[in-house]
Amino acid sequence: MSQKPAIIIDLRFNQDNVRAGLKGAFLDREVINRADPANRDKDLSHAHYALLWKPMDDLFSRATGLKALFSGGAGVDHVLTLPGLPDLPLVRFVDPSLTNRMSEWVVMQCLMHLRQHVAYNRQHAKKLWSPLNQPEASDLTVGVMGMGVLGTDSARKLKIMGFNVVGWSRTKKSVEGIETFEGSELDAFLGKTDILVGLLPLTPDTKGIFNAALFAKLRRGGALGAPVFINAGRGGSQVEADIIAAIEKGVLKGASLDVFETEPLPASSKLWSMDTVLMTPHTASDSEARALFAHVERQIDRYEAGQPLQHLVSRDAGY
């Protein structure tokens, strides 16, 4: 039996995880893992597929026979801006393992702010035993910007925890128990929001959207005293100078950030020294290698059986 067309793996991921994941994946086809030094000069022109995340510069000039591309993550802003990107179908990563991890992170951050962990951490440092008044989740409204795969799951799980939840997206959504707003209704959505969660893709429309003007429209006088901003979408959607200024002026009470304008976050950033800002290094939801490979295998099986690919990126929309 002849082998099926080859796949190139060009992932700037932890290579131990990639190699372990590849042991049980793509067993019926040649796999060219570009991180393997033995593949450095390998001919790539016969491969039909490439799975990529921050790939090597020469991928597209050498892999001239590609039929479909697969993003190693859910976001594709960095793929769509790659020099020489061929005009081929691009599939992004959608999988329960990614969705569940993101919802864990979002729910955890909302609970950290609800349960006043910033204040308790300060007290801890001073060995201070001083109970604070504690609002309930139902006293607050979390507004999720980006009601896609990740935002909708996070919204549902926040609802289960007792939060009131509202959602905003380009097109209007219908999600049980959640009031939703479409693109033109942003101000109405913001006016209801005590904790703002960003789960937007980075596109020309969402670049810098989390800025001073937007923070000023969030609901004032809620149970936390001032609104909180949480972002795990993309750092390019936030204006960090505005986040810092909003916290210093009391427009925002605090923030949780997983993504940054520049990653890694430069040591010079003031965010590092702000104890009302909880930060993680773009790890809210990592792509798990085995789940990623299984997802790509499923999509290639569909493609080779003549069925449409799923989770296709729209070049026009940019996500």
Give me the residues that bind ligand OXD (CB under 6 A), please. 73-75, 93, 287
Reported as type and span, the H/E element at residue 179 is strand 179-182
Binding residue (CB under 6 A) for ligand NDP from 12, 159, 192, 282: 282
Q: Which of 156, 282, 302, 311 is catalytic?
A: 282
Show the CA angle centred on residue 206, arms to residues 200 and 209, nearest 5°: 100
Residue 200, contacted partner among ligand NDP, ligand OXD, none, CB below 5-8 A by kind? ligand NDP
Residue 195, contacted partner among ligand OXD, ligand NDP, none, CB below 5-8 A by kind? none
Please indicate whether residue 298 is annotated as part of the active site.
no
Please indicate whether residue 156 is annotated as part of the active site.
no
DSSP designation for 307:
P
Q: How far apart are the first and last CA of the chain?
A: 38
Stretch that binds ligand NDP, among 2-10, 54-62, 167-175, 187-195 (CB under 6 A): 167-175
Q: Does 268 bind ligand NDP (CB under 6 A)?
A: no
Q: Which of 34, 48, 113, 234 is catalytic?
A: 234
The count of chain residues that interact with ligand NDP, using the rule CB under 6 A, is 31
For residues 196 and 232, which CB has a smaller minimum distance to ligand NDP in the complex? 232
DSSP, collapsed to helix, strand or coil, labels residue 186 as helix
For residues 198 and 222, which CB has a smaller minimum distance to ligand OXD in the complex? 198
Binding residue (CB under 6 A) for ligand NDP from 63, 69, 140, 150: 150
Q: How many CB atoms lie within 10 A of CB 58?
A: 12
Give CA–CA dist 183/190, Å, rounded: 12
Please list, in sequence order, all residues whose beta carbon lies within 8 angstroms of the beta carbon of residue 65, skipping any fewer than 6 positions away. Answer: 45, 46, 47, 48
**Looking only at residues 42 through 61 of this chain, which bind ligand NDP when binding is defined by CB under 6 A?**
none
Structure tokens at 247: 């916290």
For residues 285 and 299, which CB has a smaller minimum distance to ligand NDP in the complex? 285
C-alpha distances out from residue 218 to 49, 151, 194, 228, Å: 45, 19, 7, 9
Q: Which residues pair with 229 in a beta bridge?
A: 196, 255
Q: Are 54 and 30 in contact (CB under 8 A)?
A: no
Residue nearest to ligand OXD (CB): 73
**Looking only at residues 225 through 264 of this chain, which bind ligand NDP when binding is defined by CB under 6 A?**
232-234, 258-259
- Residues labelled catalytic: 234, 282
